[in-house]
Amino acid sequence: MTDLEILEIETVVRLLSETPRLTFQARYEDCTAITARHLKDGSEFLFALIKAAIESGVHQTTLIEDAVSFLDEAHLHRLAFFLQGEMKRGTDVEDLLSHIMLQAPELFPDSALATSYDFADWQTHADSRSPPACHHLVFEGGAPDDPSFPTRVNHPTWHLPTVGQPFTIGGEGASQCPACGGRLVHLITLDDFSVPNLSLPSLRIETCQGSLQATYYAHDAEGRPTAIAPFHSDYELPSEPAAHERIVRLAPTPPRWLRQSWGASNSRQNLFRLGGLPSWVQGPQFPLVPGTERPMKFLLQFDSLAGFFWGSGGMLYVFWDDESRMTCHVPQYT
Ligand SMILES: [Zn+2]
């Protein structure tokens, strides 16, 4: 650690500690700028910063929690043990711990994981310690939209190494919503590489952004969708134009990012995912194939970013059943 880096840590901790609150915004921006210089290759700096923030009692801020995502594996492990020691001494490090539990649950006993609100959804899964594999959709050009948060622009989940051919997401769908008459929005068109055991040549996912509850879509032999009785609330949410077309590629999700909590992600992490388990906004909601007791398979989830917008700004989860050739689109929002 250089003298400059030690000085930078002292500066961040001092700025986070100071009063009056009126100028907190400005001081926070200074801290963000200093921290941003170390996101790409500064694990040792960030580890020292988090420890210094805890020792000064200023660790319960988004900036310090965001820093956890940028630690290398060795520092993540060291921080996990440091935090467990702090917890025994009575320090409130619950939020920081919950980030590490999601990213490295192998470092914790089941009893510790059970205390984490963010881990609760995962524990309903048959084997919460080995969640199903998934892929991230990585956007060409990196994180979409507002680049004002360095911890979003640089978050590792927007920059995972990709495989295979590009996919186009967004743009106008081919058909209309029978409830509101609006044009459907194209999410993505998948093939049998991206959907194992797909019996169709391709599967085209289109949805009505105005639909506020779970809606089923029937797919024809070519994979083209037709909405079935979509529900529209009387409560008018602003209608969004169809998202512009964007190019994405699939990235096999590394173990560290298999469990992404919508809350802990805090609009920083890439939650555009194919397969795995959903990052629920409101808790698990797995739909059944209509007229059966058969649960549908989770296919993908899209965040409210890159021109997509769900409810008041939540997530859209899409489920698939190959036998009935139906998808179910479940929006959740706050
Ligand atoms: Zn509609």
3 state DSSP class of 282: coil
Distance from residue 113's CA to the centre of ligand 1 (Å): 40
> How far apart, in whole angstroms, are the C-alpha atoms of residue 296 and residue 287?
6
Tens digit of each residue's pLDDT (9 = 90 or more) over 45-83? 999 999 999 999 999 999 999 999 999 999 999 999 999
Distance from residue 241's CA to the centre of ligand 1 (Å): 13
Q: pLDDT tier at 299 (50, 70, 90 boundaries)?
A: very high
Among 136-140, 180-184, 231-235, 252-256, the least confident range:
231-235
Cross-strand bridge partners of residue 43: none
Average pLDDT for the chain: 89
3 state DSSP class of 303: strand
User: Could you give the percent of the chain with pLDDT greater than 70?
Assistant: 95
Q: Are 144 and 306 in contact (CB under 8 A)?
A: yes
H or E stretch including 60?
A: none
Domain locations along the chain: 3-123, 134-332
Find the mean pLDDT for residues 251-273. 94
> How far apart, in whole angstroms, are the C-alpha atoms of residue 34 and residue 4?
11
Distance from residue 185's CA to the centre of ligand 1 (Å): 10
Find the mean pLDDT for residues 283-302. 94
- DSSP characters for 87-126? HHTT---HHHHHHHHHH-GGGS-HHHHTT-GGGHHHHTST
Q: Are 58 and 15 in contact (CB under 8 A)?
A: no
Distance from residue 82's CA to the centre of ligand 1 (Å): 51
Distance from residue 182's CA to the centre of ligand 1 (Å): 6
pLDDT for position 149: 86
Give the Å distances, CA to CA, from 258 to 71, 226, 306.
17, 32, 22
Distance from residue 227's CA to the centre of ligand 1 (Å): 9
Find the mean pLDDT for residues 316-333. 95
Tens digit of each residue's pLDDT (9 = 90 or more) over 79-117? 999 999 999 999 999 999 999 999 999 998 888 888 877
Q: Give the distance from CA 284 to its chain's centroid.
A: 15
Distance from residue 140's CA to the centre of ligand 1 (Å): 29
Tens digit of each residue's pLDDT (9 = 90 or more) over 7-38? 999 988 888 887 655 577 888 888 999 999 99
Distance from residue 231's CA to the centre of ligand 1 (Å): 8
Distance from residue 219's CA to the centre of ligand 1 (Å): 17
Residue 238 has pLDDT above 60, yes or no: no
Distance from residue 259's CA to the centre of ligand 1 (Å): 31
pLDDT for position 305: 93
Instruction: Give the tokens for residue 322.
Output: 């190959």
Distance from residue 177's CA to the centre of ligand 1 (Å): 5
Residue 230 has pLDDT above 90, yes or no: no
Find the mean pLDDT for residues 109-135. 79
Residue 146 has pLDDT above 80, yes or no: no
Distance from residue 217's CA to the centre of ligand 1 (Å): 12
Place of tokens 């509850």: 213
Distance from residue 166's CA to the centre of ligand 1 (Å): 28
3 state DSSP class of 49: helix
Q: Are 287 and 319 in contact (CB under 8 A)?
A: yes
pTM: 0.91
Q: Are 134 and 274 in contact (CB under 8 A)?
A: yes
pLDDT for position 128: 72
